[in-house]
Amino acid sequence: MAIIGYGRVSTIDQSLDLQEEKLKEYGCEKVFMEKQSGAKSDREELIKALDYLREGDKLVVYKIDRLARSTFDLQKIAK
């Protein structure tokens, strides 16, 4: 079982440092990070993170809004 992290900020001017630090503190073995609007459903690093996951792995995010903008989006991601 692996712990995989995913971090995202919305613009290139924002920093991913805090999210990356917290994900590593949590024990994430691999972290996928990107600067991309959450409105986009085709976020490249999110797709890579989801493809990387295997049965029994955990996906960790700093805050749930970094993963999805609504419960509808979250449900589509968690399918």
The residues carrying an active-site annotation are 10
Q: What is the Cα Rg of the chain in Å?
A: 12
- How far apart (Å, rounded) are the C-alpha atoms in residues 4 and 12? 23
**Burial group, residue 3, by CB count within 10 angstroms (0-12, 13-18, 19+):** middle
| Beta-strand pair 3-9/30-35 | parallel
